[in-house]
Amino acid sequence: MSERAAPFYCPYCGDEDLFPHEQGHGAWECRACSRAFQLKFLGLLAPGTSSNSSGGEPI
């Protein structure tokens, strides 16, 4: 696999008007809602491990 995967839609507004952002690797900008965000691969999970059901950090 030679190319990186690109997001299909903005995580904030859901629009598909995305372009690479100049701030760095994995950074994208949505021209529909004027937001910039960055995607980061955290790693692979080991088989059999459980995570919290909300998918985020505990409050």
Distance CA 52, CA 58 (A): 8
pLDDT tens-digit series, residues 3-56: 567 899 999 999 999 999 988 788 999 999 999 999 888 888 888 876 665 556
Q: What angle do CA 21, 26, 28 make, to 5 degrees?
A: 35
Confidence of residue 2 (pLDDT cuts 50, 70, 90): very low
Distance CA 12, CA 14 (A): 6
Report pTM.
0.63
